């Protein structure tokens, strides 16, 4: 357990540093983007609380002979919908598609947790439902939400949407693999290794997602300022 506590502590430090960087970045992005940008700060900010609790030994239960970190699933239930909500806002998606996207992502986490605390073979059925729901998230991100982005965004903004979408989809697809190989599934991966992998993924997905968006927003702000300069000169 000492090793697991070490991984949780490192995860806490990573989320703290990432949140600090993103909070500073709030002052660097264009004012019209700041309301949306708050979602990027909230994602690792929520994770700080989760990792602090887990590092202190709170938020875990025993189920089916293995440890389930309830706090981790609460973290994901709160943060992963924020990721896809940001993508929907960025793309200018309809309210209907945005709600579908957020709800499907939340249900993916709910069924993943249900599978983790339920004995097999029912656990695998619940996991399969969660995987199918995640398939719906991917479908929306690559079809409806992508279509909205294509019709409303500039080429630079579309590039940002695609980068962030591919970033989270590829990395999030590793989590089900860890679930299957870990204690909740086949038991081929020990708890310490699974914890290390998940901590690494959490920091990269939460902080990396925000940093990529921050850098792109700063570039968009610079482009906007450059475009306004000729107009100002002409007016003079």
With H, G, I as helix, E, B as strand and everything else as coil, classify residue 29.
coil
Q: Which residue has the tokens 């981790």?
A: 72
CA angle centred on 116, ends 111 and 122, rounded to 5°: 75
DSSP 8-state assignment for residue 117: T
Please tell me the predicted confidence (pLDDT) of residue 225: 55
Crossing angle of the two packed helices 144-152 and 95-116, in degrees rounded to 10 = 140
On the 0-12 / 13-18 / 19+ scale of CB atoms within 10 A, 130 is buried
Please tell me the predicted confidence (pLDDT) of residue 220: 84
The tens-digit pLDDT sequence of the chain (236 residues) is: 568 999 999 999 999 999 999 999 999 999 999 999 999 999 999 999 999 999 999 999 998 888 999 999 999 999 999 999 999 999 999 999 999 999 999 999 999 999 999 998 999 999 999 999 999 999 999 999 999 999 999 998 999 999 999 999 999 999 999 999 998 889 899 889 999 999 999 999 999 999 999 999 998 876 555 545 454 444 54
Please tell me the predicted confidence (pLDDT) of residue 232: 47
Please tell me the predicted confidence (pLDDT) of residue 2: 65
DSSP string across 164-175: HHHHHHHHHTHH
A 10 A CB-CB count for 118 gives: 17
**Comparing C-alpha atoms, which of 139, 133, 129, 39 is closest to residue 89?**
39
Please tell me the predicted confidence (pLDDT) of residue 65: 83
Strand partners, 193: none
């Amino acid at each position: 357990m000492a090793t697991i506590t070490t991984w949780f502590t490192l995860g806490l430090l990573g989320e703290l540093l990432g949140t600090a960087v993103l909070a500073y970045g709030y002052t660097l992005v264009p004012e019209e983007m700041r309301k949306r940008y708050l979602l990027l700060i909230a994602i690792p900010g929520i994770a700080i609380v989760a990792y602090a609790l887990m590092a202190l030994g709170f938020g875990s239960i025993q189920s089916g002979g293995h440890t389930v970190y309830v706090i981790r699933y609460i973290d994901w239930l709160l943060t992963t919908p924020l990721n896809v909500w940001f993508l929907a806002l960025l793309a200018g998606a309809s309210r209907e598609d945005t709600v579908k996207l957020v709800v499907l992502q939340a249900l993916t986490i709910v069924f993943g947790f249900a599978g983790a605390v339920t004995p097999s073979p029912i656990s695998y059925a619940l996991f399969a439902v969660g995987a199918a729901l995640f398939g719906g998230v991917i479908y929306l991100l690559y079809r409806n939400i992508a279509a909205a982005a294509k019709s409303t965004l500039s080429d630079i903004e579309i590039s940002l949407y695609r980068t962030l979408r591919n970033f989270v989809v590829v990395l999030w697809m590793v989590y089900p693999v860890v679930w299957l190989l870990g204690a909740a599934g086949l038991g081929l991966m020990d708890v310490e290794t699974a914890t290390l992998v998940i901590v690494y993924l959490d920091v990269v997905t939460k902080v990396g997602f925000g940093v990529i968006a921050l850098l792109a927003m700063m570039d968009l702000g610079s482009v906007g300022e450059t475009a306004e300069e000729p107009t100002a000169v002409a007016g003079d």
